[in-house]
Structure 1
Amino acid sequence: MKELDNRVTLADAAAMLGISRVAVTKKLTLLGIEPIQIRKGNTEVQGLTPEHLRHLRSSRAGTSPVPGRPLVLSFQGCKGGIGKSTLSYNFALRASQYGLRVLCIDTDQQSHLTLCLCGKAPGNRCWYDLLEGQTTLREAIVPWREYLHIVPGTIHLALIDYKYNDRAHPEALFGRYLEEVEADYDLVVVDCAPSLSLLNQAVAYASDRIVIPQTPSRLSFDGLELTINFLEDLHENFEKQLDVRILCNMVEPDELSSIRIISHLSKTYGEALCRTFVHRSQTFLEAIDAGTSVFDYTLKADTARDDLDALTRELLADRLS
């Protein structure tokens, strides 16, 4: 497992701030920050740490970069294979590179987010142990990298629906536990299991933003409809307003199936459809095989890298401005 690199290039920082590289350099000089060098093979560019990015954002208008409680963003979808873990992994890492203090929570018993981020299960405590009173949230957190921590997933998560009945209020299974650490983080990213479970319902109830990936296939579309109905039931039963975003993932722009699905989603869901499309790219698989993210795998222009960066900035526009 390679060491995950939380540094970001000056070009990326300029894009995030909406200013030129020259303007970024001037701000760094005023703040007394010296850029560092990032090397990948024969490529070397100037870069910044998450702390540098945090200072840059904080210097704008002289305000704190992230107001109030952390944003809770979950990746949901009752169908497997739609890319939830890969997306949540790269999204969370990119957010931390931009200076947000990120807590990842793996609520999928397959633990793919945990494996992507850590290379192996770093401990034996998961959300199930928290519900059982065997640990606190703070004790379950593994501080894996600067600005990037995780509550790992384990197979014991499969026991939650078995042990907890559907009469429990969603807040009792997830949201109330976040209060313990809400001052420590700017963003909570939850990777959910491909199911319509009690825990997924509880996560959705606590989420400020819910992202449902959709691949260009009929089976994926059926899963989307089931997930939307699941969330609508949550809204009706608990009068909870939900911010749902639908993300086109694994898009092949030249394939008729992709064109048809995108057209249908645009007509059906309108503004709920993310502006950013994530295209199918071999880089996702190669990066995971190399034990790293798409951002650490290459510094050169790359479809996967560009798409995930754009997605991060779109979903966190109110936090990265």
Structure 2
Amino acid sequence: MVVWTVANQKGGVGKTTSTVTIGGLLAQRGHKVLLVDTDPHASLTYYFGIDSEELDNSVFDIFIQGKELRQEQIFQALCPSTIDNLDILPATMALATLDRRLGSQGGMGLILKNALNLIADEYDYVLIDCPPVLGVLMVNALAACDRILMPVQTEALALKGLDRMIRTLQLMKRSQQKDYRYTIIPTMFDKRTKASLEAYKELKRLYSELVWSSVIPVDTKFRDASLQQLPPSVYAPKSRGVFSYNTLLTYLIQLDG
């Protein structure tokens, strides 16, 4: 089972879109895929038409169970999507209370990693959608993954958010003694604008080999797909955005198998 965490300490850079699109493409390639929503705003959950406030079980319950968690409790929280091979582990607003509940307790950074280990035989790939805030949820998502995917909007403010994210990883590397692998993904690229062109050039200058060699373009089909509650690869398989994500996925599989 390969685990990718989609993270950035800035909102609106394409984290949920990346999670849904890559997950949909993997499922269409025949892989068994789990998408995990760790954001209290539950954007990924709502994307698939799941009302987070009506759920009996969710990611929140997995964190509350902690070390007492059993495999069947995870299965109770899973929601199948309308897409073959694609399941959702949904979020609720209650996740926003976890830092207060668990932040002072020791060993709380590995709850999600241990939970995924319990169902490792069920899935080929897991993608974790993160909140844009460093706390218990992001720490768990980072500790659980094999690689961090960092979508970065190609504009100046997003580059500052990326800098914060890189410094966070450096701090966590020292505290957890884990060497994080990550790939920076330029998103919302518009070749017609000077801002996009300059931001992409700066990304390559600052982070060179850590930046995926291509870009995810601005594509209105992403918004249309979300309205239909379908992965873009299902709603608009021939769109330029999906083509770019397909190229990205092939690259990531070559890196991690």
- Per the normalisation by structure 2, the TM-score is 0.90
Report the Cα offset of residue 303 of structure 1.
Answer: 1.0
Q: Which residue does the alignment assign to 1:317? A: 254
Higher relative contact order (CA 8 A, sep 6+): 2
Summarize the Cα distance change of 1:162–1:293 in structure 2 as closer, same or farther, 3 Å threshold.
same
Q: Which residue does the alignment assign to 1:242? A: 180
Q: In structure 2, give the amino acid aligned to 1:99.
A: G
In 1, the alpha carbon distance for the partners of 2:143 and 2:225 equals 33
Structure 1 residue matching 2:48: 3-state secondary structure:
helix
Contact 1:173 1:199 in 2 (8 A): no
Q: Would you say how many aligned residue pairs link Structure 1 and Structure 2?
A: 250
Contact 1:166 1:198 in 2 (8 A): no
Structure 2 residue matching 1:174: 3-state secondary structure:
helix
Q: In structure 2, give the amino acid aligned to 1:106.
A: D
Moved more, 149-158 or 169-178: 169-178
In 2, the alpha carbon distance for the partners of 1:246 and 1:202 equals 20
Contact 1:89 1:117 in 2 (8 A): no
In 2, the alpha carbon distance for the partners of 1:151 and 1:316 equals 23
Which segments of 5 or more consecutive residues in structure 1 lack a partner in the other structure? Answer: 1-69
CA deviation vs aligned residue, 1:67-117 (integer Å, no higher than 9, x gap): xxx111011011111111111011111111111111111000111111112
Which segments of 5 or more consecutive residues in structure 2 lack a partner in the other structure? Answer: none
In 1, the alpha carbon distance for the partners of 2:228 and 2:212 equals 29
Q: Of the two, which has the highest radius of gyration?
A: 1
In 2, the alpha carbon distance for the partners of 1:245 and 1:174 equals 21
In 1, the alpha carbon distance for the partners of 2:168 and 2:107 equals 15
Contact 1:174 1:202 in 2 (8 A): yes
Contact 1:205 1:234 in 2 (8 A): no
Report the Cα offset of residue 290 of structure 1.
Answer: 2.6
Q: Which residue does the alignment assign to 2:57? A: 125
Q: Which residue does the alignment assign to 2:230? A: 292
Listed as ranges, the matches of 1:6-155 within 5 Å are 70-121=1-52, 123-133=55-65, 136-144=73-81, 145-155=83-93
Moved more, 283-292 or 271-280: 283-292
Q: Which residue does the alignment assign to 1:224? A: 162
Q: Which residue does the alignment assign to 2:114? A: 176
Structure 2 residue matching 1:279: 3-state secondary structure:
coil
Contact 1:212 1:246 in 2 (8 A): yes
In 1, the alpha carbon distance for the partners of 2:74 and 2:217 equals 36
Contact 2:79 2:87 in 1 (8 A): yes
Summarize the Cα distance change of 1:275–1:124 in structure 2 as closer, same or farther, 3 Å threshold.
farther
Q: Which residue does the alignment assign to 2:123? A: 185
Structure 1 residue 261 corresponds to structure 2 residue 199: yes
Contact 1:170 1:205 in 2 (8 A): no
Q: In structure 2, give the amino acid aligned to 1:115.
A: Y
Summarize the Cα distance change of 1:152–1:318 in structure 2 as closer, same or farther, 3 Å threshold.
same
